[in-house]
Structure 1
Amino acid sequence: MPKLAINDRVELDDSEIEERFVRSSGPGGQNVNKVSTAVELRFDVRGSPSLPGDIRARLKRLAGRRLTDEGVLVIRAERHRTQDRNREDARERLFGLIREASIEPKRRIKTKPTRASKERRKDAKTRRGQVKRLRSGKPDFS
């Protein structure tokens, strides 16, 4: 079985990807009623031996509603008029999702506000309070 290299950490087996050709609602004129050009790509995220656990978890989160209850990712491609181009499009979208899931998010480093920023905040609050205090007085028409 040919292996599909996605990045340095993930190689998918071609047999893990299931493709079905269905009728497209996209461009194609009369052709659209006769030829099944749209591609429905299915990839079992939960059962894939090629995906490391951390990437699997991030991919599930990224997939959103494209993921079925059984853990199968469904991508439907019907942008193009030919099966081959729709097939390439679906595979590229799957690979893009896996590449995005491979990127480990950076951990946030907690920071404390500096003394100067605290003082600037307090000064601004004081000035704002003074403005409000000046507005609340009765006007002097004498």
Structure 2
Amino acid sequence: MGHSHGLSVEEQRKEDIKVGVKGFWILLLVTFAEVAIALFLKDLLPGLVVRLFMIALSLYKAYYIVSIFMHLGSEVGGMAATIVLPMALLIWAVIAFLWEGNYARTNRNAVMDARPGAETPAKETSKETSMRSIDDLPTQLSFQS
């Protein structure tokens, strides 16, 4: 784990094992708390409270793993930011793409079909999906140049 100056190799190994065992027990307790909340408290507490507890405990586990096992807890702020900020942008991008994809899926039939000869707006034939029936599809493909 961390390297302390002035310790022999055996002493450093023992310190590393202590940090690893402590991390194991902390992560085990937090995981048990998450499972207990999911199994036993989900009916007693409102759904939003349960979700907030689960998010908070998951973020704590992620922080602990990154700070202890990935050694970012002892790094300078700039180094930690080069790892944490791109991850935050990745999470934001996933949420944004899911949001936009859901919007496009729910409003798919309201969009005008720009192909020549296509119905406008697109005809919905099934209540389960917004896909058109196989009978409505053209039998031949034609590419206009």
Is the TM value for this pair above 0.5?
no
Using the size of structure 1 for normalisation, the TM-score is: 0.27
Larger-Rg structure: 1
Using the size of structure 2 for normalisation, the TM-score is: 0.27
| Greater per-residue strand proportion | 1
Higher relative contact order (CA 8 A, sep 6+): 1
| Greater per-residue helix proportion | 2
